[in-house]
Amino acid sequence: MRQTPWVTQGPLYPQKLPLDSDNDLITISDSVTPAVGEITHLSGTLLGLHGEPVRNAVIEIWQVDSMATYLQERSRKPAGSFDGNFQGFGRFETGSSGEYYFRTIKPGPYPTRPAPHIHFMVKVKGREPFTTQLYVKGHPGNVRDHIYRRIGDGQAQEAVTVDFVPVKNSRIGELAAKFDIVLGFTPAG
């Protein structure tokens, strides 16, 4: 198997994590008002270098809201310039088969990054955290994005670029994206 390319963490990992940091970024705590955006069911499997599932790893994601604002930036922006109903950060512990799941929104471009993306950090006990980013397949901003272009060859870029496809029979236009992550080592035990 080919290792998922490392992609920079970037400067906008939240310095202060939200109290609600579960895997549902659409609603915060018990709020009834959801975030604005195309609801996306993001799932995948965390695998070792030889395809074995990596269980009990923590996967964190963070991304911009529908107004292109990261959670980290909100304290510097006026109310109304970000979606206060979007969690912006989520966390999930992989199961026995290495699977993970997040409910989020389809990412949009950021002012300095024309390629919509979701940041990932994978934490495996006894290892340094691994970071990568997921990109939207077919988005025209990918070819203009300086970080995406530096990922490597076409196969490396393809490994971090996924389709966001309509969920069959969804009445609200939900999407699904599947992003498997292959680490560069064989997990212990």
- CATH code at position 120: 2.60.130.10
* Paired tokens of 69: 């604002």
Question: How many Å apart are CA 184 and CA 181, to the nearest integer?
Answer: 10
Inside any domain, residue 136: yes
Per-residue pLDDT, 85: 94
Q: Is 15 helix (H, G, I), strand (E, B) or coil?
A: coil
Q: Which residues of the chain have pLDDT under 50?
A: none
Inside any domain, residue 189: no
In eight-state DSSP terms, residue 76 is G
Inside any domain, residue 113: yes
> Does residue 82 contact residue 20 with C-beta atoms inside 8 Å?
no
Inside any domain, residue 147: yes
Question: How many Å apart are CA 55 and CA 99, to the nearest integer?
Answer: 8
Question: How many Å apart are CA 20 and CA 78, to the nearest integer?
Answer: 22
What residue spans of the chain are helical by DSSP H?
146-149, 154-159
Per-residue pLDDT, 22: 93
Per-residue pLDDT, 16: 82
> Does residue 89 contact residue 124 with C-beta atoms inside 8 Å?
no
Q: Report the number of distinct structural domains present in the chain.
A: 1
Inside any domain, residue 51: yes
Inside any domain, residue 184: no
Inside any domain, residue 186: no
Question: How many Å apart are CA 172 and CA 41, to the nearest integer?
Answer: 13
Per-residue pLDDT, 30: 80
pTM of this structure: 0.95
* Paired tokens of 14: 């939240």
Per-residue pLDDT, 189: 57
Domain that holds residue 135: 39-179
Q: Is 82 helix (H, G, I), strand (E, B) or coil?
A: coil
Inside any domain, residue 143: yes
